[in-house]
Structure formats: structure tokens, C-alpha cells
Amino acid sequence: MLTNVRRATAEFLSTVISSHFSLASLTTEALEAALEVPKKLEHGHLAFPVFPLAKELKKAPPLIAKELAEVVTKAEHPLSKEIASVLPAGGFLNVTFKDAYLQKILIDSVYAEPGKVGYSKKGEGKTVVIDYSSPNVAKPMHIGHLRATVIGQAIRNLAETQGYNVIGLNHLGDWGVQFGKLAWAYMNWGSEYDFKGKPFESLYALYVRFHDEAEKDKDLDAKGSAVFRQLEQGDAQVTKIWKEFVEISMKEYGRMWGLLDVSHDLVRGESFYNNRLKAVEKELEDKKLLVESEGAMVVPLGEDMPPCLIRKTDGASLYATRDLASAEYRHNELKADLNLYVVGVDQTLHFKQVFRVLELMGHVWAKDCHHIAFGMYRFKEGKMSTRRGRTVFLEDVIRQAIEMVDKLIEAKNPNLENRKLVAEQVGIGAILFNDLAVDRVRDVEFDWEKALNFEGDSGPYVQYMHVRCLSLIRKYGKPAPKSIAIELTSPEERELVRTLLNYQDVLAAAFTTFRPNIVAQYMLELCAAFSRFYNKHRILGEAEDVQTSRMALVEATRRVLEAGLRTLNIQAPEAM
RNA sequence: GCACCGGUAGCUCAGCUGGAUAGAGUACGUGACUACGAAUCACGUGGUCGGAGGUUCGACUCCUUCCCGGUGCACCA
């Protein structure tokens, strides 16, 4: 796509510039990095800001640009024949390519590898381990899990577009004192609940009840802790109960992941690391990092951070201990070149500490560990709490969206086939897009009205454009042409081609910054460009060469839309 | 108190490593379905980019400082 064009242009410009001016440092690489995609097409397809050259050449930028434009226009180079104009504009050198050239590049790259539009090979031979959507056993998934799930899955998809080998990891929260508490509750009150008929609801009810009663009865927490110790020592009865909890919960989460079309490759709950904790502690001890402090064992981290707590006064391990073991597991056994944690911003300090400890341990790969933080959901009513049972449940949001879409279909397209399926695809698409379109570090205010809005910048808008493309192709009646016969020169067509060519860069940028919203925002831009084209120009029934050329453009658009939606884990229905 | 993250149109948000006249959606007003799907498009109203300094040819973007909001700060995860 445009990536290749930029490279070629940089080479061209660098040879011309270095033969014309005597400049110390302007490599092809530097030039490639300096080349910009202007915001507006009137500034060309690629622009080179010459300002940095001004000092060395002792000339005003507009003069340099003017001089360069003349030289580049005269220069002979394989690329010359593809360039329509090289014009100076202030301190910028604006390069515009011939429409036929870009059109050909677009079509070639869209058809190059089926299903892999915009892919790159940057990550080839490397493995990325990504930990996402890891819920805590016995707690229902609420709206906050949407982010951990959807952002994680999107980054996972993005990693695949960059050619990485991807391992999606479910770091299930299946260990800790709360399971002692829950087991205690189960043994004492379990019979009051319908565990056969409604296992997960019962489990959650026990959880809420335990915390309610613990506020009144101060001994309850201690009883729970005692049961957890039994669990840690491998008590058969408690272990059996615990396994049951995990199973019930996984079944419930599986249902939710199924709805969202999310999947992991590996489940490695916190309990998985139990038999590795001793080794971590020993390693820390051998490396003289472990220090006793107030009865606990910690790793001091310097002035700017509180110490990392490794072992409690009572000898038990902690969150950080398990994460250290997990990080080593991911590096040593899963062979992670990149280790990503998609976890809320409230864990920022924790991960900073863990990564710092890894550094102190001498693990150079600590730099390849990244906490991909996302902001919290806020509510007008105040903070949400699972313990108090005051929550917006993920499933309710999804169901609500599907129901609203279903009503909309009834009004707009009552004879639609697969209505149920489409309502699901569109409803879920709306929820996912609403979440993915905003920068992940921001807190978001959950707003039912906005999440369930299907007009304007939204998932259904993007899906609708895809449906439109498909509808055109259906009416066209033949497979879409694989080439653009004539030059499409209207502003709308040129803008659409230009936007489509950016797709590959967008994927790369979204992955390197771990920000799926870059893709989502791009999708909106692309849809707007397509819409303007569609509304302005007739496609079917035009003269043969015009019709086929525009149809080829429609199909190219459709493929990029489909690929982009897939990256965001949103379905592209055929009709809606 | 210290640390990290946010503050852009009435509201919800974009703005890529500093680049050309700060953009969408929504809301409000107007127009476009006897032509390819109106979940659409076009036009209009709406801005001291939290405040103040600084760096730079150029700052929403970088630095300093202050204000507001969020989050975190040792035996939970």
C-alpha cells in the first residue's frame, strides 16, 4: 500500500537531494521518516517538510522547496513517470502521484493475499503473549470487563496482522483468600441455594452474602482465611469445592466470550503458579534482592517507588509473587518476545513494580513487558461495586443492544433473513465499537444512550457501509473487476483511493502503540470517504469502463472494511 | 502529602513520531429518497485546545508551574 510508495519516494528524493545539495545527513531512512501524509489531498499524497534543511543550507525554507521541486521534476528516475506533480508550498515539497499508479497499487495490494489485506511481516518469527479478559472466579463479568476483553482481543488481532505468532492467555483469577471465604460460605450456607439449576448465580449470591455478613460478624474473615490455608495445603474436600467454583465460572465466562467471539489459546490461572513461587523467592534471595521489612519480605525499588511485597508476615505469597512467576513462565516456556498485560489503569503501580523487580533480577527482557492500561468506567450514580451487587452487567448491556437492534430491523427491514443473527452482530458491533473508538487510557462515562446509538459514528454505521458495498456487488451480478481500467479523477474517488491506501500504516501504528482506537477512527474516515463517493457518483448503469472501474473501487473498499471490522472483532453482516 | 493518567465545540470524543486554515458525531436549523439501502449525504450555528510562562522556523502535541477531575501509594487481587 502506501508504505511501499513512501519507501520508493524516499529513495528517489534522497538521491536527487544528495546530488544537488551537499548535505551531511539525509539518508533514505531519515527521509522516509520525515515524509508525511498530508491531511488534505490538495497538499499531495506525500509531503516533505524542508524546514530542517534551512540551517545547514542557510536558505529560507520556501526557497529550498522551490529549488527542490524544480530539480526533482527534471530528475530521471523509474518513479518519475508515476508522479503527476512535485510542487513547493511554503516550506513543504508536495508530491502528487498519478491516479492510475495509485489505483493499481491499491487493487494489487487488496488482492495480494486473500484475507490478509494490510498485513505486514514485521513480527515474523516472533511470539507475543497477551493476557486479556482475565476475570475473577465467582464474580460475574460487568461492563468493566468489556474493556479488558475487547481491547485485548483487538490487540491480539492486530498482532496477527503484523505477522506475530500470538498466544492469548487467560490469567484467570482463581486463587487467593477469597476462595477460602467462598468455600466457607458454601459449606455453611450452600444448601440454601440452587447450585444445580443456577450454579453461577448461586456462587455470586454466596459471594455477596459473605461480604455483607462479614461487615457485621468480624470473625468471618478469619474463618475464611483458615479455609484458604486448608486449600493451600491441598485439603481434598476444599480443593474439590474450589475446582467446582472454577468450573462453574469458566462455563459462565465461556458463554460471554462466545457472544463476543473472543478466544484464548491458553488458560493459566493464578493457581497454576503455586508450585513455582518457591523458586521465584529463592531466585530473589540468591540475587540478594530480598529484604526483611516489618516482618514481611520485600524487594526495595528505590526512591521513586514503594517496595514490592513478596511474602507476607504469615509466610503466604502475594499477587506480585505470582506475577513474577508468570512473567518468567511467559518468557522461558512460552518463548514470549513481547509480553502484554491488558489490565486496568488501577494496576499501573503494581506492574511498574513487577517489571522493575524483573530488571533487578537481571532479566533484560523486562523491557519487552508492557502493561496495556485502560481507563475505568464511571457512572453518574457513583462507583460500581461487585461486592455490593451494584453493577452494570456485561450481559445486560449486550442483551439490551441486541433487542434494540432487533426492533430497528423490524421497522426498517422486516423481511430480512437471519434476523436473529444479524441483530446479534449489529448489537454487539455497536457495543464493541463504542468502547474501541475511544483512547484506552481515558476513563469513560457509561452512557446507555450513547452505547446504544446506531447513528453517526458507530459500529452499525461502519457495518452499514459494508452492507451497501455488498448490495452494489450483488446488483452488479458478476464478480467485481480486479482492475481499474480508467483513471478515476473526481475528488471523491481520489480521496477514497488515498484513504484506502493508508490502511496498512494504520494497522502498524495501532499495534506499535497498542491502541485499537486508531483503527476504529480510521474506519469512520473510510466510511465517510466512501459515503461521499457513493452519494455523488452513480456506479451501476454508467458507461462500461466507468462502471467496472468504480465497481473495482467498491470491492476494494468492501475488503478493507471487512478486514478492519475483523481486526476490531466486529462482524460484517451481508445485510441488515 | 507523593506518584501516574486525563482536561479540545452545549454534550461524547478524534487529532499518528511537533507541521500547512484544530476535526467528527450528537444536539439545534435547512435541504436531498419515482436512481445503486435515508442506520445515509450536503449546508449552517457552535473553539481563549483548563490558566500562565518557556523551547522552536512552527506547539493541542515538548518543558516548567498552577488549577480541576480520576487512579494508586505494604501484607487483597
Q: Model confidence over A507-558: pLDDT tens digits? A: 999 999 999 999 999 999 999 999 999 999 999 988 889 999 999 999 999 9
Given a cut of 60, whether residue A389 has pLDDT beyond it is: no
Instruction: Locate the domains of chain A by residue range.
Output: 2-97, 394-567
The separation, in Å, between residue A355 CA and nucleotide B1 C1' comes to 26
pTM: 0.94
Mean pLDDT of A427-442: 94
Q: Which of chain B's bases lie under 7 Å from a protein CB? A: 3-6, 12-17, 19-20, 24-26, 35-37, 39-42, 57-58, 69-77
Asked if A227 and A207 count as a contact pair (C-beta separation under 8 A), the reply is no
Residue A350 grid coordinates: 503494581
How far, in Å, are A131, A151, A201, A208, A253 from residue A140 at the CA level?
Answer: 19, 19, 9, 11, 8
Closest residue, CA to C1' of B70: A443
pLDDT at res. A350: 95
The separation, in Å, between residue A254 CA and nucleotide B68 C1' comes to 42
Q: Model confidence over A135-154: pLDDT tens digits? A: 999 999 988 899 999 999 99
Closest residue, CA to C1' of B57: A51
pLDDT at res. A380: 56
Closest residue, CA to C1' of B19: A49
pLDDT at res. A383: 44
Domain A394-567 indexed as CATH 1.10.730.10: yes
The separation, in Å, between residue A393 CA and nucleotide B73 C1' comes to 30
Mean pLDDT of A322-344: 96
Query: How many percent of chain A have pLDDT more than 90?
Result: 74
pLDDT at res. A255: 94
Find which nucleotide's C1' atom is closest to A344's CA: B71
pLDDT at res. A385: 42
ipTM for this model: 0.95
Find which nucleotide's C1' atom is closest to A296's CA: B75
Asked if A472 and A554 count as a contact pair (C-beta separation under 8 A), the reply is yes
Average pLDDT, chain A: 91
Spacing of C-alpha A280 from chain mean position: 31
Given a cut of 60, whether residue A203 has pLDDT beyond it is: yes
Find which nucleotide's C1' atom is closest to A90's CA: B20
| Domain A2-97 CATH superfamily | Arginyl tRNA synthetase N-terminal domain (3.30.1360.70)
Distance CA A234, CA A273 (A): 15
The separation, in Å, between residue A375 CA and nucleotide B52 C1' comes to 29
Identify the CA nearest to A70 among candidates A32, A17, A118: A17
The separation, in Å, between residue A508 CA and nucleotide B61 C1' comes to 21
Q: Model confidence over A155-194: pLDDT tens digits? A: 999 999 999 999 999 999 999 888 999 999 999 999 999 9
Find which nucleotide's C1' atom is closest to A37's CA: B16
Q: Interior CA angle at A472 toward A471 and A476, to 5°?
A: 120
pLDDT at res. A287: 94
The separation, in Å, between residue A218 CA and nucleotide B18 C1' comes to 58
Distance CA A215, CA A376 (A): 26
Find which nucleotide's C1' atom is closest to A308's CA: B74
Q: Provide the Cα torsion A150, A156, A162, A166; round to 10°.
A: -170
Residue A41 grid coordinates: 489531498
The separation, in Å, between residue A461 CA and nucleotide B39 C1' comes to 6
Mean pLDDT of A443-460: 87
Mark residue A90 as left, alpha or beta (left: phi above 0; alpha: psi -120 to 50; beta: remaining). Answer: left
Closest residue, CA to C1' of B14: A521
User: Order of strands, edge to edge, in the sheet holding A46-49?
Assistant: A46-49, A92-97, A83-89
Residue A215 CB partners (closer than 8 Å, separation 6+)? none
